[in-house]
Amino acid sequence: MIKSHSLFAGVIVLLGATAPAAPQTTSANAPDKSDYTLFDPVPDDQMRSFCTDRPTKSNLPCTVDAGHFQYESDIFNWSYAHAGGVTTNTYLFTNPTLKLGLTNRMDLEVNIVPVETVTVKSASGWQNLTGIGDTFVRAKFNLAGPEGGDFQAAVIPFVKFPTARAGNGDGAVEAGVIAPVSFALPDDYTLLFDPEFDVERDGGDFGRHANFQLLANLCHALTNSVSAAAELWGQENADPRGATQEASFDMALSWIPAPNPNLQFDAGFNVGLTPATPKFQPYFGVSQRF
């Protein structure tokens, strides 16, 4: 089992020396936007700072302003895994998450990979599968700090629908919940934790088991438009047909080009820390708000 308490205590020390990403927006003097809805959008001059769940694995507590639309997507994502004599390469050709602000504290999100290619090389030969990915539908509810500030929290329940073909997905409806919390630290640093609990189908039958995830992310801006992120991620999958433990160290850069405050480009990579984790996963992507 991953010893998450010791791993994440260690990463906080490491990140403090090496890792920056976007700091939180202050909530001081923020306008009251509680009456705005999907059908009565927040005026452009009252919109909060552009905030995305990219580029790392983390999910932030921020939501899209009511009545506004946002997409966040990989342009290309490649992961390489090798374990037990089997080499697996996974390619995502875009990976959009579409977000719609419903209220000041809630948005609706849909994620699907239009084209996913998985190639597997083993002693028995090559296998190549290409198709659409599974569909994830999420709702994000901000519980604290909708406009930023020293403390932010949210809850993100989600359901996965099995739209992927066999081999690209497991053919099961699955669900989970994420509960991101973030804390403003001195010198414009922000510390984020993302605990997650999922209920997934057992491999090879229709039973169910628990899957736990946790990450720690430390953030700080490099310049007014460029930021970087570093995090440690861990996962414990309790599948009775074969429990697995995964962990990775992830780093990324993001850039908001002037003069457009509603456009962001990013690039990053994840490095696997356990045998069951993909060894290397580089990617680059784009996000935009309307």
User: What pLDDT digit, counting tens, does each position of 161-182 carry?
Assistant: 999 988 788 889 999 999 999 9
Its CATH architecture, for the domain 4-279, is Beta Barrel (2.40)
CA distance linking residue 89 with residue 77, whole number of Å:
10
Q: Which two three-digit tokens encode residue 161?
A: 């629908």
Could you state, in order of their start, the residue ranges of all structural domains in the chain?
4-279
SS3 130: strand
Query: What average pLDDT is seen over the chain?
Result: 89
First-to-last C-alpha distance (Å) of the chain: 43
Say yes or no to pLDDT of 3 above 50: no
Residues 71-104 as b or e (16 or more Cβ within 10 Å = b): ebbbeebbbebeeeeeebbbebebbbbebbbbbb
CB atoms within 10 A of CB 113: 26
Burial of 192 (0-12, 13-18, 19+ CB in 10 A): buried
Tokens of 123: 């002693």
pLDDT band for position 130 (cuts 50, 70, 90): very high
Where residue 15 falls among pLDDT bands split at 50, 70, 90? very low
Phi first, then psi: give them for residue 46, nearest 5 degrees.
Answer: -115, 5
What pLDDT score was predicted for residue 83? 87
At 14, the amino acid letter reads L
C-alpha dist (Å) from residue 56 to 49, 71, 219: 18, 15, 11
pTM: 0.88
- C-alpha to C-alpha distance for 134 and 113, rounded to whole angstroms: 7
Q: What is the pLDDT of residue 12?
A: 44
Q: Residue 222 has what pLDDT? A: 87
pLDDT for position 231: 97
How much is the pLDDT for 157?
Answer: 98
pLDDT at 202 exceeding the cut of 50: yes
Mean pLDDT in residue range 230-259: 94
- pLDDT tens for 68-105 read 999 999 999 999 999 888 999 999 999 999 999 999 99
Count of H-run helices and E-run strands, the chain: 1, 17
